[in-house]
Each structure stands twice: as structure tokens, then as C-alpha cells.
Amino acid sequence: MPEMNTSSLPDLIFTILFFFMMVTTMREVTLKVKFTVPQGTELEKLEKKSVVSFIYVGPPTDQLRAQMGSSTRIQLNDRYAEPREVMDFVAAERKGMKNQAEQIISIKADKNTQMGIITDIKEVLRKSWALRINYSATHRQ
């Protein structure tokens, strides 16, 4: 019985490895706030995630609570920010997009966040002409 020819096996393995390296996206933001996403019933899935910029709102993680306290914080990319800094964040995110009119701001807020902070963020977004806003949620069972 002849032996099986395995000479093309390394090529196949590297092709599969290369494929997964190309299609896998790594998390670009280190979360510094923790949040429990609220639940909803009328949800839509975002089609083009490349035009979405995320604003995270919630209390600091357990590791950062000693430094930052336990009050609700806003995270833009990898840093904490104040509501007035959201306008600069939106402008920077918009500058990096090919079609700036499609920009969507997604607010990922803890379900126990006070509405005053969300309102402050929304007012700054309105002033910066970021009018396409969505709220992240999970489907209620």
C-alpha cells in the first residue's frame, strides 16, 4: 500500500491561517468602564460596522475604581472624557471615514446610567451634527 503524499499539507495550513488572520478583527478599545447592556424587543442589527463609532458610559472597572471613584464615566476610545470632549471625538472619527455622511454614533451605556449624562452626550452630538445615534441593547427573551 503506497504512503499518503503530505507535501502540500503545509501550504494548506498556511492558507487557512492567512485567511483567518485577514478576516479576524481584534478589539481596538480596552474597556475602562463596565456596563450591563439594557434589553429591548424592537432591535435592528447594524449592517456597516465600519461607520460606527462607540461611546461607552458606565462606572469604572473594578481595577480602576480606586483611582477614579465609582461615579459614572464616559469612555471615548481608550480614555475617559467629559461630555464636552465628545465633539472633538466625533470630528476625529468623521475625518477618518470615506463617506462622512454615513457616520453612526452608538452609545453603549450601563442600564443603570442616569439619563442626565445621556442627555448631555446627546446635546453635544447634536451640536457636532452627529444626528445618527443608536443605543446598544440585547434582545429581551
Domain residue spans of the chain: 27-139
Identify the band that residue 26 occupies on the pLDDT scale cut at 50, 70 and 90: low
Give tens-digit pLDDT for 49-73: 888 899 999 999 888 888 888 889 9
Report field, pTM of the whole predicted structure over 0.85: no
Helix (H, G, I), strand (E, B) or coil at 13: helix
Burial grade of 134 (CB within 10 A; 0-12, 13-18, 19 or more): middle
Whether the pLDDT of residue 27 is over 70: the answer is: no
Distance, first Cα to last Cα, the chain: 58
Identify the band that residue 97 occupies on the pLDDT scale cut at 50, 70 and 90: confident
